[in-house]
Each structure stands twice: as structure tokens, then as C-alpha cells.
């Protein structure tokens, strides 16, 4: 349905007050909105009963807010609750039994209401608001019958032309009237000359059948045509309003087009300044990442060395104990000394140095480590304590070199892959197979990670995603192709420098 609001911007007539019957002209040559089942008449002349009035459903949110304030001041909350319950689904009232805001203010003035009370009504309700009799009854605590009579009297005194229910006011039985006319005509004119059977039954009777049928069909067809015309007019009005909204929305999108030239005039300077600040920020971030990565690598080296020292202490103790457990069952001398030391200890005597075989063994084992270069001594997992410690120390050293140093095997692997890509004085890495190229990139990453070098992420080198605009997609594809070529050049330069550094 079309919205009931006035829109004169485009000078298009909108059927906002029309009914399914179109524009209706009363017998007083006054135009009213046509509605099905409604006829207009002067209330003073028609003197209609209550059940003959056309009814309507009225939304009263403004009145309910005002009524709440009034009933709270007058302590009539139960009246407010009853009215809200009645008007919850719409207040059903007779459409023309009302008084206007101006009429209500005049009545309030005549009955001695204060200026403040009248100002409250005047400031709350618009001048064209219609107070129907249920609203007046609950607002002023009156009987609905009295409010109805007062509203009807006011409308009659103004010779109001209002809506009446057509079915309640029209004469009923039009088919019956037709055939009463036929029967009366036959009875009266049957004695007239030439009014014989043929004329009375064939001509007059057939004419009455045609008249009755035409009357019924014309009412049905005209009602359907009026309804369809009204619906088409409402659809046209809705389309017009939708089109207006679309035009306004489109115009709003171009509201700032006049500023485009101003923005474009300063685009170059702004872009150069922002690019400079972007490059500076990118360099600072890369420097920070490099420093952070190198610091973490140095911390890892320090932690590894500290772990090696504590592990070496535990290893010396554990290996000395292990060598004692291996030697004691095989040495009778150590067993005799241990037995003698135990007997002497039970006797309460103090053991002298060298009498306890356990302490003597540990002193001898620890003494064997003094002055020994563990890195040059040949290590053995089952030899003397010095050889065992040397074996463990050399294993830790190899682990340290593998973890934090570039190994000869890695250098040889880089050289062998670089030889496959050799092209004159430079390198052509497109010759390499996918596995070889992937392995070279992995070596580049792992070797740089060992020395604590932070590899920068792809700064601005990611492919741009496609949009929904086909024209823009063509431009995006060209940018992505140029970006792919540039990234190939960057990768070639990076790998070339890497291979030459280890050649």
C-alpha cells in the first residue's frame, strides 16, 4: 500500500486518500474518497443510528501517552489500563463521531478549564487530530453514551457529511422490487389494447429479466474494476515513491563529487609524503625485527652453553659412579678395603685418607680430569672417566655446531645446487627442478636462521584479490602479473647472493 504522506517533489499525483471506489461525488457535489460499502450523507438530514455509521480501526499511540499522564495525576490508573487493553489491537470507533482539537479547546474554555490544561492539549495534539467519543469518555471520565451524543450533536450542527454503512442504509430487495414492478404492470395493463400475451410475457417479461441480470452483473463488474483500478494506482504510487528514493540515494552518492578535483590536486604530494613515511617505517620495523632475532639467537647460544656446563657436572658425577660400579665387583682389593673400613667405622674409629675405597675412587677419578684437554682427547663411551667425559663433551660440541653454525655438508649442498643453476657469470634458477629449487630455498631459510638473521616478510608483494567489477579485474590482473615478474627478479637476486656467499 502506498504510504499516506504528501510528496510533491516530483509533482506526481499519489492516490493516498483514495479508496477502492475512486473519487466519490456526493449528492451535494462534494468529492469524497470512494470506499466499498460506504455512502456519504449529511448527518443532520439523514439522522443516522449508531449501527448505521461506518466504523474504522484507529491507532492511538499519541493519545495513550497523554492519557497516562492525565490518569496518573487524577489517580485513575485502572481506567488507563482498561483503555490500553481495549485499544491494543486498534481502537474500533465510528469514523465520523468525533470533535476536532479546536472544538475540544473551545469546549474546555467554556467549561472553565485552566490555561495550563488547555495548553497541554494544544501542545500535545496537532490541530487536525480527531478525538472520537471513546477517547473523550476516558480522558474526561464521562459515560461513553454522553460523549457519543455530544460528538454527534457537534457534527450535526456543522452539517457534517460523513460515512454511512451502505448495507445498513440502502433499500433491500432490489430483485424483489423488479418483479413486483413486473407483476403490477401485467395486472394493470392486461386490459389495455394490444397488451396481449406476447407483449406482456415475451417483451415486458424478457426486458425485466435482462434488466435484473444487467443490474446484478454491473454491480459485480464495477466493484471488481474499481478494486483493480485502486490496486493498480497504489502499485504505481509505490513504484513512483521507490523510484524517487532511488534517485535521491543516487544523487546523495555523488554529493561530494565537487571535491574530487581538490583531492586530486593534492594527491601527488600526499602520496609522496606517505610513501616516504611508509618506507621509513618499513626500514625501522625490519631493523627492529633483525635486532630482536639476533638477540634471541644469542640468548639461545647462552642457554645452550649454560646447559652444557650443568650437564657436564652431572655427567662427571654419574660417570664416576658408573665406573665405580663397574670396577668394584672385579677388584678384590677394593672389596677388602671396603670391609675393613666398614668394621673400623663400626668400632667408632675415624677413617684416614685412602682407607675408604669409595672416596679414594672418586678422588682418583676427579683427579684424572685435571690438566686434560677434553676436545683433543679421544673419547670413548666405555673408557676412563676422562674419555667418557671427553666423548660427551665432543657430542655436545657437535650438536652446538649443527644447531648454531653452518656445516660443511650444508655448504657443499648449496654449491652442488648452485652448480646446476650456473649460467655464465650468473645463475638461472629456472633451470632447477621444483624439488631442487625448494631445497635451495629451505637451505636459505635454515642457514639464515642459524646465524640469527631475520628474513623480512613479503612487504607489499601479495597478489591483489579480484573484485566484482570486470573492468577493475583486468587492471588487477595486469598488476599481479607485473608483481609476479618483480618477485621472480627479487628471488633470483636473493638466491644469487646466497649461493655466491657460500661458493
| 399-430: pLDDT as tens digits | 776 776 777 777 787 788 878 878 777 777 77
Q: What is the mean pLDDT of residues 437-458?
A: 73
Least confident of 60-64, 124-128, 293-297, 326-330: 326-330
Distance CA(494)–CA(444), nearest Å, equals 9
- As beta bridge partners, residue 423 has 426
For position 421, what pLDDT does the model report?
79
- Each residue of 16-39: pLDDT tens digit? 444 555 566 666 777 777 777 788
Q: Which cell numbers in the block locate residue 172? A: 433491500
By C-alpha distance, which of 459, 449, 503 is closest to 483?
459
With contact defined as beta carbons under 8 Å apart, do 358 and 338 qualify?
A: yes
Distance CA(91)–CA(165), nearest Å, equals 18
Q: Which cell numbers in the block locate residue 156? A: 450535526
Bridge pairing between strands 22-25 and 31-34: antiparallel
**Largest Cα–Cα separation, the chain:** 175
Distance CA(329)–CA(205), nearest Å, equals 145
Alpha helices in 27-100 (DSSP H): 43-46, 61-74, 77-86
With contact defined as beta carbons under 8 Å apart, do 151 and 99 qualify?
A: yes
Degrees, nearest 5: CA angle 481-483-489: 110
Q: What is the mean pLDDT of residues 461-466?
A: 76
Q: What is the DSSP letter of 226?
A: H
Give the phi and the psi of residue 427 in degrees, each rounded to 5: -135, 145
Bridge pairing between strands 38-42 and 422-423: unpaired
Give the phi and the psi of residue 426 in degrees, each rounded to 5: -120, -155
Buried b (16+ CB within 10 A) or exposed e, 292-322: ebeeebeeeeeeeeeebeeeeeebbeebbee
pTM, 2 dp? 0.42
Has residue 395 got a pLDDT over 80? no
Q: What is the mean pLDDT of residues 176-195?
A: 77
Q: What is the mean pLDDT of residues 368-392?
A: 63
With contact defined as beta carbons under 8 Å apart, do 370 and 397 qualify?
A: no
Distance CA(353)–CA(362), nearest Å, equals 12
Has residue 432 got a pLDDT over 60? yes
For position 313, what pLDDT does the model report?
65
Has residue 398 got a pLDDT over 80? no
Amino acid at each position: 500500500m502506498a504510504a499516506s504522506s504528501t510528496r510533491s517533489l516530483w509533482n506526481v499525483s499519489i492516490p493516498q486518500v483514495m479508496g477502492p471506489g475512486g473519487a466519490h461525488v456526493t449528492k451535494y457535489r462534494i468529492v469524497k474518497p470512494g470506499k466499498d460499502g460506504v455512502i456519504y450523507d449529511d448527518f443532520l438530514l439523514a439522522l443516522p443510528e449508531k449501527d448505521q455509521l461506518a466504523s474504522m480501526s484507529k491507532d492511538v499511540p499519541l493519545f495513550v501517552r497523554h492519557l497516562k499522564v492525565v490518569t496518573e495525576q487524577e489517580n485513575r490508573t485502572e481506567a488507563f489500563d482498561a483503555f490500553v487493553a481495549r485499544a491494543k489491537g486498534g481502537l474500533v470507533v465510528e469514523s465520523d463521531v468525533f470533535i476536532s482539537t479546536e472544538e475540544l479547546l473551545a469546549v474546555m474554555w467554556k467549561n472553565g478549564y485552566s490555561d495550563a490544561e488547555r495548553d497541554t492539549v494544544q501542545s500535545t495534539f496537532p490541530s487536525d487530530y480527531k478525538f472520537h467519543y471513546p477517547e473523550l469518555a476516558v480522558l474526561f471520565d464521562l459515560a461513553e453514551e454522553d460523549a457519543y451524543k455530544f460528538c454527534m450533536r457537534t457534527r450535526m450542527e456543522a452539517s457534517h457529511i460523513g460515512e454511512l454503512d451502505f448495507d445498513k442504509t440502502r433499500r433491500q430487495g432490489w430483485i424483489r422490487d423488479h418483479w413486483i414492478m413486473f407483476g403490477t404492470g401485467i395486472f394493470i395493463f392486461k386490459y389495455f389494447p394490444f397488451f396481449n400475451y406476447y407483449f406482456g410475457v415475451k417483451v415486458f417479461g424478457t426486458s425485466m429479466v435482462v434488466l435484473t441480470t444487467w443490474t446484478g452483473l454491473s454491480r459485480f463488474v464495477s466493484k471488481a474494476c474499481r478494486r483493480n483500478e485502486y490496486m493498480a494506482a497504489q502499485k504505481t504510487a509505490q513504484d513512483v515513491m521507490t523510484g524517487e528514493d532511488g534517485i535521491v540515494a543516487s544523487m546523495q552518492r555523488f554529493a561530494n563529487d565537487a571535491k574530487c578535483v581538490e583531492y586530486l590536486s593534492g594527491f601527488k604530494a600526499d602520496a609522496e609524503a606517505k610513501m616516504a613515511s611508509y618506507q621509513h617505517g618499513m626500514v625501522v620495523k625490519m631493523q627492529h625485527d633483525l635486532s630482536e632475532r639476533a638477540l634471541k639467537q644469542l640468548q639461545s647460544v647462552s642457554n645452550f652453553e649454560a646447559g652444557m656446563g650443568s650437564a657436564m657436572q652431572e655427567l662427571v658425577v654419574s660417570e664416576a659412579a658408573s665406573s665405580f660400579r663397574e670396577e668394584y665387583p672385579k677388584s678384590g682389593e677394593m672389596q677388602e678395603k671396603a670391609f675393613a673400613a666398614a668394621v673400623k667405622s663400626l668400632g667408632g674409629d675415624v677413617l684416614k685418607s685412602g682407607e675408604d675405597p669409595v672416596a679414594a675412587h672418586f678422588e682418583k677419578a676427579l683427579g684424572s680430569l685435571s690438566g686434560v684437554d677434553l676436545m683433543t682427547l679421544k673419547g670413548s663411551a666405555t673408557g676412563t672417566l676422562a674419555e667418557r667425559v671427553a666423548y660427551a663433551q665432543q657430542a655436545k660440541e657437535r650438536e652446538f655446531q649443527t644447531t648454531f653454525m653452518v656445516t660443511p655438508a650444508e655448504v657443499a649442498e648449496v654449491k652442488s645446487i648452485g652448480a646446476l643453476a650456473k649460467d655464465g657469470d650468473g645463475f638461472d634458477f629456472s633451470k632447477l627442478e621444483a624439488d631442487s629449487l625448494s631445497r635451495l630455498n629451505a637451505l636459505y631459510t635454515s642457514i639464515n636462521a642459524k646465524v640469527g638473521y631475520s628474513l623480512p616478510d613479503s612487504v607489499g608483494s601479495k597478489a591483489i584479490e579480484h573484485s566484482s567489477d570486470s573492468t577493475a579485474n583486468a587492471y588487477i590482473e595486469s598488476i599481479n602479473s607485473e608483481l609476479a615478474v618483480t618477485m621472480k627478479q627479487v628471488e633470483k637476486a636473493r638466491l644469487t647472493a646466497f649461493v655466491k656467499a657460500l661458493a
